[in-house]
Amino acid sequence: MTHYQAQDAAHHIHPFTDTAHLNQKGARVITHAEGVYIYDSKGNRILDGMAGLWCVGVGYGREAIVQAVSAQMRELPYYNTFFQTSHPPVIELAARLTSLAPEQMNHVFFTGSGSDANDTILRMVRHFWAAQGQPERQVIISRKNAYHGSTVAGASLGGFSVVHEQGGLPIPGIVHINQPYWYGDGGDLDPNEFGLQRARELESKILELGADKVAAFIGEPIQGAGGVVIPPLTYWPEIERICRKYDILLITDEVITGFGRTGEWFGADYFGIKPDLMTIAKGLTAGYIPMGGVLVSDRVFDVIANHGEFYHGYTYSGHPVACAAALATLNILESENLPQRVKSDIGPYLQERWLKLAEHPLVGEARMLGLVGGIELTPNKTKRAPFKVEKGTVGLICREHSFNNGLVMRHVGDTMIISPPLVISHSEVDELIEKATLTLDQTYAQAKDQGFF
Ligand code: PMP
C-alpha cells in the first residue's frame, strides 16, 4: 500500500463500500483529470466511461467553470437566501434554468445535492395537498430498484431492499411497485406490451390504497444506479395518463437524465411527458461544485406560494459559488450544443457500436439511449440465465478487468453500465469500445475458467 492508500484506509470512510474489504486492498487514488480521462497516483490514464458519478457531462478541465467559480468566490463567496435576501448568481440561474426546463416549469428551489432535493420534494408534495385541505394525501408511489439518494427520504423513495434493511426504512407513506425492466422481467412479452403492464401496476396500487391517499408518483426516466433500465416507449405516457386520471402529482427524478444525457435537456422531454416536479443535480454543475434542486411547475408553485411559509431550506440553498458553476456549465452545454450533439452525432455513433456488443458470447442484451447504456452479462443468452455464483461476482470481475484496461465501467449486479462525458470524441468512443470488448473477452475466459457457466 502507498502512503495515500494507508492514510485513506486509516481515516476515510467511503460511501457504499465494504470498508474492511477495501482497506485490505487499498483504494485507487485519482489525482487529476483532463477531458474524458482520469489519472491515478500510479500514473495510469483511464477513460472515464461514467463521467465521474454520471455528472461530469462537459468533461474535466473546463477552464471557464474554474474562472467563473474563482471570480464568484472573490465577489461573494457565500450568502444565504432565507431572510428576504437574494443575490445575482441565484437570480440569474433560476431564470436560466426555468427557460431551459419544460414550459410548465417556471420555478426552482435549490438544494445541495440530489438526495436532499428529493427530501424537499417529499415535504413539498405533502404540503401541497395539505394546503388544499387534503392532508391525508400522503403516499408517494415509487419503484423497486429505483435510486433517489441516501438521505432518509431519498433512500426510502429508492427501492433497494439492501438499503431499506439498514436503518429501518422506508419511512411511512412510501410504497414501491415493479420496475419496467424488460430484460429481467419481461420474458416473452413484447417490450411495449410489457411497458404498459408495468405502468398499469401504478393504477392497481392507486386503487388498492385509495386515490384520496396518494400524493405523487416518482420515477427516474431511465433508472441509473439500478442498472440503466431503459423503459419501453409505452411506459411513461401510460404513467402520465394514470397520474392525470387520479389527479396525482408526477415527479421525474432527472438527476442523471437531466442536462443532455438523453439527447434532450431532460428525460421527460425525451419521453414526451410533462411532470409537475423534477429533481435535478449532477450535470447541473458537471460535478465541479455540489448542487441540486427541484424544478417546480406553475401548478405546484401556485399552491405553495400562496399558503404561508414553507418551513424548509438548506444553508447552501442557492449557494452563489455553486450557481456560478452551474451558469458556466449551462453556457458550455448551450454554446457547444451538447444535447443536440448527443441526439444526432455522438449518441448514434456510440449506440451503434455499443449495441453490437450484444454479439459477444457473454452478453445477453446491450441497450443504450442518448449516452447512457448497459450490457447484461449471462452464461446463456437465450435463457438470460444467471451465473452459477452469487449475483454480482462476474460483474465485479468485469469491472476489475475494465479498470485495468484503462476504462471505467461500473457494475450493478451482472449488468455493466456506462455514462461517458457528453464531450467524448469519436476516436475516444472507438477506444471505449475496444477496451470494453477486450474486457468482455477477459471476463468470459475467467468466468469459464472458474466454473461460473
Ligand atoms: N436521484 C438519482 C436518480 C440519482 O442517480 C442520484 C445519485 N446517483 C440521486 C438522486 C442522489 O443524488 P446525490 O448523490 O447528489 O445526493
Atom of ligand 1 nearest to the CA of 116: 16
- Pick the closest to residue 116 from 369, 379, 298, 317 (CA basis): 317
Per-residue model confidence (pLDDT) at position 380? 96
Mean pLDDT of the region 23-28: 96
Quote the ligand 1 centre to 239 CA distance (angstroms): 22
Atom of ligand 1 nearest to the CA of 151: 16
N- to C-terminal Cα separation, the chain: 34
Residue of minimum CA distance from atom 10 in ligand 1: 148
pLDDT tens digits for 326-356?
999 999 999 999 999 999 999 999 999 999 9
pLDDT tens digits for 91-134?
999 999 999 999 999 999 999 999 999 999 999 999 999 999 99
Mutate to test the pocket of ligand 1, among 115, 277, 280 (most ligand atoms within 8 A of CB): 115
Domain boundaries, the chain: 35-58+339-449, 64-335
Query: Average pLDDT, whole number, for the chain?
Result: 98
Per-residue model confidence (pLDDT) at position 10? 97
Per-residue model confidence (pLDDT) at position 144? 98
Quote the ligand 1 centre to 114 CA distance (angstroms): 5
Residue owning grid cell 411532470:
275
Atom of ligand 1 nearest to the CA of 146: 3
**Residue 359 binned pLDDT confidence (cut-offs 50, 70, 90):** very high
Per-residue model confidence (pLDDT) at position 64? 98
**Residue 72 binned pLDDT confidence (cut-offs 50, 70, 90):** very high
Mean pLDDT of the region 169-179: 98
Atom of ligand 1 nearest to the CA of 220: 3
**Residue 269 binned pLDDT confidence (cut-offs 50, 70, 90):** very high
Quote the ligand 1 centre to 255 CA distance (angstroms): 6
Task: Return the CATH fold of 64-335.
Answer: Aspartate Aminotransferase; domain 2 (3.40.640)
CA distance 423 to 434: 18
pLDDT tens digits for 406-446?
999 999 999 999 999 999 999 999 999 999 999 999 999 99
Mean pLDDT of the region 172-178: 98
**Residue 293 binned pLDDT confidence (cut-offs 50, 70, 90):** very high
Cβ neighbours around 106 below 10 Å, total: 17
Per-residue model confidence (pLDDT) at position 395? 98
CA distance 345 to 347: 6
Quote the ligand 1 centre to 283 CA distance (angstroms): 11
CATH architecture of the domain with residue range 35-58+339-449: Alpha-Beta Complex (3.90)
Mutate to test the pocket of ligand 1, among 16, 110, 143, 147 (most ligand atoms within 8 A of CB): 147
**Residue 285 binned pLDDT confidence (cut-offs 50, 70, 90):** very high
Per-residue model confidence (pLDDT) at position 268? 98
Residue of minimum CA distance from atom 12 in ligand 1: 114
Quote the ligand 1 centre to 432 CA distance (angstroms): 25
Per-residue model confidence (pLDDT) at position 133? 98
214-219 and 410-412: which strand pairing? unpaired
Per-residue model confidence (pLDDT) at position 121? 98
pLDDT tens digits for 236-262?
999 999 999 999 999 999 999 999 999
Residue of minimum CA distance from atom 1 in ligand 1: 148
Per-residue model confidence (pLDDT) at position 129? 98
**What is the CB < 6 Å shell around ligand 1?**
113-115, 147-149, 220, 224-225, 253, 255-256, 279, 281, 292
